Structure 1
Amino acid sequence: RQGGVTNALVAPSGGWISGQAAVMTLAGDHASQMVVPRANGSSAVAMVAQFDASAADAASRGEMIARLRELLLDVRAYGANRAAFERNATRQFAAPRADLEALQAVIDTTLPLMIAADRASDIRSLIELRQRDKLPARFIIVGAAEGWQVAKELAAAKIPVMVGAMSNIPSSFDALGTRQENPALLKAAGVQVTLISNGSDNAENFNVQHIRHDAGNAVAYGLSWDDALRAITLAPAELFGVADRIGSLRAGRDANVVIWSGDPFEFATRAETVLIRGVVQTGSSR
């Protein structure tokens, strides 16, 4: 809050299919007061998966894609044949019933599937997976360090990305093609871009309070100021179905307002006043 952040996406990270993500308001005494529900009242805004072969008990990246394809096709088959499943009249599926039920929201497009992937080849495989089997699932690529290399394909597939704008050197062999122009190149190709803080998936490097610096850096490397502002406000709110509550200053929205000492993307600017749901927040910090 001291950094002018009023909302955050909270997502699990363990395992292959990690669970559900929720949007939280950073004020309140307990979670039930902090959650920002979608219009249908659900607190879940996305399912979360990791492009991690070891987590999926796969021997290679190719097998990882095959496992994901098998799972999503089984979820679709289960949804269409629940009665047969209850009679034990279906083939064995790749996941237990509880998982198949939870993932129905992905197949019926109620929830998008967030998939962490950096390599251009992995992103291309995910695009091809959805197209080949005509899966209605909505994918969101998280990380997408090499997304600029497949920007036209992402735009054609209408797959949004969540990317950082600070990394100018590879953090791993999965991100050899990383570059700071990534958000601008993706946006120029027509991809829906949401900015995230580099290291936001790592508790040791949790820098979400500096998201405005990512936005400023994205502007320095080609993204327009307006697009950068949208990428940390309305774009994520629309992406996760909570734009009726947050992301813009309109009548009927939560009164989450930050008054800055200057351009919020400038390093020396500070948040002078932070209101969350109309309540002025103190400057106290743990």
Structure 2
Amino acid sequence: MRRRALGLLAALLVLLPAPAAAQERLALAGGRVVTNTGAPVEGGTVLLSGGRVEAVLPAGAAAPTGYRVIDAAGKWVTPGIIAGISQLGAVEVHAVDEANETVARTAPVSAALALEAGLDPEETAIAITRIEGVTAAVTAPFPGRTIFAGQGAIISLGDGRPIRPRAFQHVAYGELGSRIAGGSRPAAWAEILNALDEAQRLRNGLVSPMRDQHRDLRVTRDDAEALVPVLTGAQPLLVRVNRASDIRQVLTLRNRYPGVRLVLVEAAEGWMVADELARARVPVITLGMDNLPGRFETIGATMSNVGRMVVAGVTVALGTPDLDASFQPRLLPQYAGNLVAQGRLPGGVGLSWDQAFAAISRAPAEIFGLADMGRLAPGARADVVIWSGDPLELSSAPEAVFIAGVAQPMESRQTKLARRYRPGQPETGLPKAWMR
């Protein structure tokens, strides 16, 4: 009876109308439209309806009747930026454990952790990032007690909620993984194999459902069960790794577990094994701006890393994988622009404009199988940004942001503070500001 009632409730919810704002028909007219599916459409018009892109019209085509026209003449119209990896929605203050949901240092489980349970749609950084043109983010946990960090989510910056919960599993190898696992790469590798082998046993029914754990199990049963989707390819396995030899080692996982969908995170020396990554069709998510050998595993770091991997045929998306708060997803257009500039330096290998913009929009969507995101085409999710100019130039800024076809408030905590404490503001009723 209860199941029947729940089914009836679900059916009624499907029949309910979508929010009125999402149903508004909009025509973003006259801008330089970057579709990510071909050449830009100069003076084009993007039609949005029901939270989706309905069409991209050529220059001179009039918007159909019933659409509210928004003048984008002289502006750039693009898909929204997708942060390839971030901590958005999971960290308010990095240095305060109570405000950081990405790391579970003493939890009895690891791979079974699902980050969406700790997401905060009201986190300050969401609005700050959204008004800079970022409309979605891959939010990742960070390894704590074990090398397995848990399951991350892909969130919409419109409401801060998951578009896809439990979207991937995250594990650390290299220096970080070896340190957590006991002090060496062999120790970290043994942990990876043990966990995946236990998941394989569960998948094949070799472990009795009445038993809490296998006799040599070093991961909990919950963790092993959480890794079964990794073996089937239902969840990508994001592996944090940098050194070229470590990358080669990670690629051998496919020999033992053919169904695993590998995605590398950071990969500072990826350029040294770019041909191997391309042949294996393993994509990379990285910041792309690391050229300092700050650790032994990044001695080969170079600003041409991303360019060389892309030339070899590797799919590369930009994100902010470091927990350092200075790596902010709102700066991704700047980082992409720097990769364009890298190609203009003597001896440098960078990206074309189209490649750089794809790295912060279409590429992350493709890596995670989000076929309706990262592009402006009929049926695509209506995450759209109107920019004052070229989005990869520092002089440009978003003038309007639409997420699922809904216009977003162009305000954040920072803009409110700037307005409140601007010079000449009456002090009556306001707290004292710092005096200069």
Give the corresponding residue for 1:17.
148
Aligned equivalents of 2:245, 2:185: Cα separation in 1: 10
Aligned equivalents of 1:83, 1:177: Cα separation in 2: 44
Give the corresponding residue for 1:117.
241
Is contact 2:167–2:236 with CA below 8 Å preserved after alignment?
Answer: yes
Q: Note the alpha carbon deviations across 1:11-70, whole angstroms, 9 max, x for none.
A: 111321111111111122xx5xx2213xxxxx22111112212322x3311221222122
SS at match of 2:150: strand
Give the corresponding residue for 1:40.
none
Q: CA deviation at 1:128?
A: 2.2
1:148 aligns with 2:275: no
TM-score (norm 2): 0.59
Q: CA deviation at 1:91?
A: 4.8
Aligned equivalents of 1:140, 1:125: Cα separation in 2: 14
Aligned equivalents of 2:394, 2:291: Cα separation in 1: 18
Give the corresponding residue for 1:251.
378
Give the corresponding residue for 2:172.
50
Pick from 317, 327, 330: which aligns with 1:209?
A: 330
Aligned equivalents of 1:66, 1:83: Cα separation in 2: 20
Aligned equivalents of 2:332, 2:399: Cα separation in 1: 17
Amino acid at match of 1:46: F
Structure 2: any 5+ residue segments left out of the alignment?
1-129, 343-349, 414-436
Give the corresponding residue for 1:285.
412
Amino acid at match of 2:141: P
Aligned equivalents of 1:163, 1:59: Cα separation in 2: 25
Aligned equivalents of 1:146, 1:86: Cα separation in 2: 45
Is contact 2:212–2:221 with CA below 8 Å preserved after alignment?
Answer: no
Q: CA deviation at 1:90?
A: 5.9
Q: CA deviation at 1:171?
A: 3.3
Amino acid at match of 1:273: A
Q: Tell which structure's C-alpha radius of gyration is larger.
A: 2
Q: Where do 1:195-234 residues align within 5 Å?
A: 195-197=318-320, 200-221=321-342, 222-234=350-362
Amino acid at match of 1:25: S
TM-score (norm 1): 0.88
Aligned structure 1 segments of 4 or more residues deviating by more than 3 angstroms: 82-91
Is contact 1:165–1:217 with CA below 8 Å preserved after alignment?
Answer: no
SS at match of 2:285: strand
SS at match of 1:205: coil
Aligned equivalents of 1:88, 1:100: Cα separation in 2: 11
Amino acid at match of 1:127: L
Shift of the 139–89 alpha-carbon distance from structure 1 to 2, 3 Å rule, reads closer
Q: CA deviation at 1:258?
A: 0.7
Is contact 1:13–1:201 with CA below 8 Å preserved after alignment?
Answer: no
Amino acid at match of 1:61: R
Q: CA deviation at 1:130?
A: 2.7
Q: CA deviation at 1:129?
A: 3.3
Between 81-90 and 155-164, report the one with greater CA deviation.
81-90
Higher relative contact order (CA 8 A, sep 6+): 2
Aligned equivalents of 1:22, 1:181: Cα separation in 2: 30
Is contact 1:161–1:193 with CA below 8 Å preserved after alignment?
Answer: yes
Kindly report the root-mean-square deviation, in angstroms, between the aligned alpha carbons of the 2 structures: 2.0
Give the corresponding residue for 1:62.
186
Structure (1/2) with the larger strand percentage: 2
Q: CA deviation at 1:179?
A: 0.7
Q: CA deviation at 1:278?
A: 1.6
Amino acid at match of 1:188: V
Q: Note the alpha carbon deviations across 1:164-214, whole angstroms, 9 max, x for none.
A: 2222222322211111111111011111111123xx431522411000111
